[in-house]
Structure 1
Amino acid sequence: MDMRRIVAVLAEEAEQQIQDHVWEVEPGDSALARDTEAGLREVVGPPDVQEALPQIKRLERLRETLAVLAISLARTHGRLAWFLSGALNALEPVLHWRALPADRGGTFGTVLPSAEEYTEAEDAVRRLQDVLAQISRR
């Protein structure tokens, strides 16, 4: 399953839990979702902006999204934490990517991602931005 699909499943579950009143979004969750969404938007912009960047910058920004999610996860518990944990898990392949060629020696298991993989990860982050924006309005 690709990152976009995993995030879509997470989004559907979050939306369903909120709609069914299984997840009652508390004001603190709403504020943290708003801050997280803003942090993600700061590092991953619209497709045309991202695609114009060199691959090393795109990877840098995708790694920053992991940091934003991890810091937010550290600040919450319950359903929002579970959602953020799932988001981090979905984007985990980014941790195995590198943007530089390996002239000599090993690469510690890293791989050079394709342009499509960058796009897939950035699309997944944009979907997370949208879901967090919805959560923040609750």
Structure 2
Amino acid sequence: MGMRQDIEELAEEAEWQIREHKWVPSANDHTVAASVAADLGAVVSAPQSQREPPVVTRLGHLREALAAVAIALARVHGPMAWFLGAAATALAPVLRWRAVPAPHGHTFGAVSPALQQYAEAEEAIHRLQDTLTRLATA
């Protein structure tokens, strides 16, 4: 299963839990969701402009998005922490990606992802951002 699918399933579960009142987001959950959604929007560009930056920039943005999720995770507990923890886990593969050549072959296990993997990760971030935006007002 890919990153985009993992985030899609996570988002659907969160939306279901909220709709069925299994998870009633607190005021802090709303605040954190709005903050993370804004952070994600600031680091991952709109879909039509995603192909323009070099892969080094794209990878940097993906890592910043993961960092925003991880930082928010440190400020919450309960369902919001579980949601953000699962999102961080789904996005974690970007931590092993590299966008620069390895002239000596030593990369600490980092791999060069295909361009499609960048696009999939960016789509996953947009889906997560959309879910968090809705959660902020749920």
Q: TM-score range by the shorter chain?
A: over 0.9
4+ runs deviating over 6 angstroms: none
Q: Output the aligned Cα RMSD.
A: 0.7
Which residue in 2 is equivalent to 1:14?
14
Which residue in 1 is equivalent to 2:114?
114
Q: Distance in 2 between matches of 1:51 and 1:109?
A: 26
1:87 equivalenced with 2:87 (yes/no): yes
Q: Distance in 2 between matches of 1:48 and 1:99?
A: 21
CA-CA distance at 1:51 after TM superposition: 1.0
**Paired amino acid for 2:107:** T
Q: Structure 2: which 5+ residue stretches go unaligned?
A: none
- Please report the TM-score for the alignment, with normalisation by the length of structure 1: 0.98
1:52-81 CA distances to partner (integer Å, 9 max, x unpaired)? 000000000000011100110000001011
Which residue in 1 is equivalent to 2:50?
50
- Percent identity, please: 49
CA-CA distance at 1:49 after TM superposition: 1.7
Which residue in 1 is equivalent to 2:103?
103
CA-CA distance at 1:113 after TM superposition: 0.7
Q: Distance in 1 between matches of 2:128 and 2:105?
A: 36
CA-CA distance at 1:48 after TM superposition: 2.0
CA-CA distance at 1:91 after TM superposition: 0.7
Which residue in 2 is equivalent to 1:34?
34
Q: Structure 1: which 5+ residue stretches go unaligned?
A: none
CA-CA distance at 1:24 after TM superposition: 0.5
Q: Distance in 2 between matches of 1:34 and 1:64?
A: 17
Which residue in 2 is equivalent to 1:70?
70
Which residue in 1 is equivalent to 2:133?
133
